[in-house]
Amino acid sequence: MKVLMLTPYLPYPLVSGGQIRTYNLLKHLSKHHEITLFSLIKDESEREHLSELHKYCKNIQLFKRTKNPFVLRNILLAGFSSYPFVVTRNLPLNMKKAVGDELARGSYDLIHAETFYMMPNIPHTKVPIILAEQTIEYLGYQDYMKKANPILRPLLKIDINKIKYWERYFWQKADKLITMSSEDKEFIERVLGKPQNISVVANGVDLDFFSKVKKNLPYDPTVLFVGTFKWLPNIEAVDEIVKKIWPLILQKLPSAKLKIVGFSPTEKIKGYASDSVEVLGGIEDIRQAFAGAHALLAPIRSGKGTRYKVLEAMITGTPVVATTLAAEGLDLKHGENVLIADSSANLAAATVRLLEDNVLQKKLAVAGQSLVKKGYSWDTIAKDLDKVYKEFI
């Protein structure tokens, strides 16, 4: 099939979860489909990565969005149009026309849009549209609004209502909707009050890449947090770890160490560094972080979708302690392949229990690896998406 894919980021390098997902799907789908990629970039230097993507894409067109989202044009568009800020910052002036021109001359079988806020860049067309929702966007912003400055909350509420409206609108406008989990699918159908044409295409892991990890555990019990800090739930998770969970762990295990790994750490997160806390930021090979950790801690409390950090930890033999939400969408069972807890105190207790019990560590590591190998390789996930594509033949 001939597919036009639209993404709000260049799918390489593999810095964010969205990039990891799109890149790996492109790599596998390109074996059976001809894919043209339209992506947004924030900086011209990103063009240096095109050679890697040309291996899998017939053609690529890039469109510039502002490096700083809070420029006057984006703010005014959000303030004086019906679109929310997350749409206006991903709405290059020339993209909609370019998409229309490409569709007119390209004889495409399918349009694949990653995230609802790419949908306004698609003009009216008879070409079927698949919308992949990696998360339920307005839920994350709702959580942020509750913790924001009270002065800003009325403005944020208006913008969140816009997100909610347009997200629901495009869920119904698309010919096919893809979610990352059955929980997300059920949530959307519950919100809309009726069944929808939705398929679940989960996230996955590069088994060849991560299976090469050899654990090299330090003497001190070491806990790892992984996540890009351009995503608000990861910032909130680190805040909770450092302020509420880590002090409780240190009471029981004074020699314990915490490593915080992820691209674009804020100054506040960098300031959490101490004798027991190391803030590494982005590292060249994430496998080394997993190799030296006794456990991954994932206290995620907002956002939807499935968590790459959990899958990557499990395939590297790193046991996971997670909230119910962080484990959502994966076939995980407390005590069998993960430890699940939801309060800060219980997360701390579960982490201490795991760090003190070598037998439990090995049990969860083996079970986690087995689970990921069976159901979460990118080859398996790409086959699921390929089945969705073939519905439109």
Using CA atoms, how far residue 53 sits from 10, 58, 256, 262, 306, in Å, is 9, 9, 41, 23, 24
- Name the residue among 362, 322, 315, 317 with its Cα closest to residue 338: 322
CA angle 381, 360, 255 (to 5 degrees): 110
Other beta carbons within 10 Å of 23? 21
Mean of pLDDT values over 330-352: 95
Q: Rg of the chain over CA atoms, in angstroms?
A: 21
pLDDT in tens, 342-391: 999 999 999 999 999 999 999 999 999 999 999 899 999 999 999 999 99
Residue 277 DSSP class: E
Place 304 in a pLDDT band, splitting at 50, 70 and 90.
low
Place 56 in a pLDDT band, splitting at 50, 70 and 90.
very high
For residue 305, is pLDDT > 60?
no
The token pair at 212 is: 């090469």
Tell me the torsion sign for CA atoms 30, 36, 41, 43.
Answer: positive
Mean of pLDDT values over 250-275: 94
For residue 152, is pLDDT > 90?
no
Q: How far apart are CA 59 and CA 4, in angstroms?
A: 9
Across the chain, what does the average pLDDT equal? 92
Q: How far apart are CA 319 and CA 277, in angstroms?
A: 19
Contacts of 311 (CB under 8 A, 6+ apart): 203, 204, 205, 330, 372, 376
Residue 338's pLDDT is 97
Residue 223's pLDDT is 98
Residue 232's pLDDT is 81
Percent of the chain with pLDDT over 70: 99
Residue 303's pLDDT is 67
Tell me the torsion sign for CA atoms 200, 172, 10, 280.
Answer: negative
Mean of pLDDT values over 115-130: 96
- Helix, strand, coil proportions of the chain in percent (round to 5)? 45, 15, 35
pLDDT in tens, 218-233: 999 999 999 888 778 8
Please report the domains of the chain, with CATH numbers, ordered by start residue: 2-204+378-390 (3.40.50.2000), 207-375 (3.40.50.2000)
pLDDT in tens, 88-110: 999 998 999 999 999 999 899 99
Whether pTM exceeds 0.85? yes
Query: What torsion do the CA atoms of 190, 194, 199, 201 make, to the nearest 10 degrees?
Result: -10
- Phi/psi region, residue 281 (left: phi>0; alpha: psi -120 to 50; beta: rest), is left
Residue 15's pLDDT is 80
What's the 3-state SS for 75-102? HHHHHHCCCCHHHHCCCCCCHHHHHHHH
For 254, counting Cβ atoms within 10 Å of its Cβ (0-12 exposed, 13-18 middle, 19+ buried), the class is: exposed
Place 40 in a pLDDT band, splitting at 50, 70 and 90.
very high
Residue 306's pLDDT is 56
Residue pair 36/57 in contact (Cβ under 8 Å)? The answer is: yes
The token pair at 26 is: 């492109």
Contacts of 371 (CB under 8 A, 6+ apart): 314, 330, 331, 332, 337
Any long-range contacts for 53-60 (C-beta under 8 Å, 24+ apart)?
53/10, 53/11, 53/12, 53/23, 53/26, 55/27, 55/30, 56/26, 56/27, 56/29, 56/30, 57/26, 57/30, 58/34, 60/36
Residue 97's pLDDT is 97
Beta bridge partners of 259: 224, 278
pLDDT in tens, 140-151: 777 777 777 788
Residue pair 53/64 in contact (Cβ under 8 Å)? The answer is: no
Other beta carbons within 10 Å of 147? 11
For residue 169, is pLDDT > 80?
yes
The phi, psi pair for 57, rounded to 5°, reads: -120, 135
Contacts of 221 (CB under 8 A, 6+ apart): 253, 255, 256, 257, 294, 355, 356
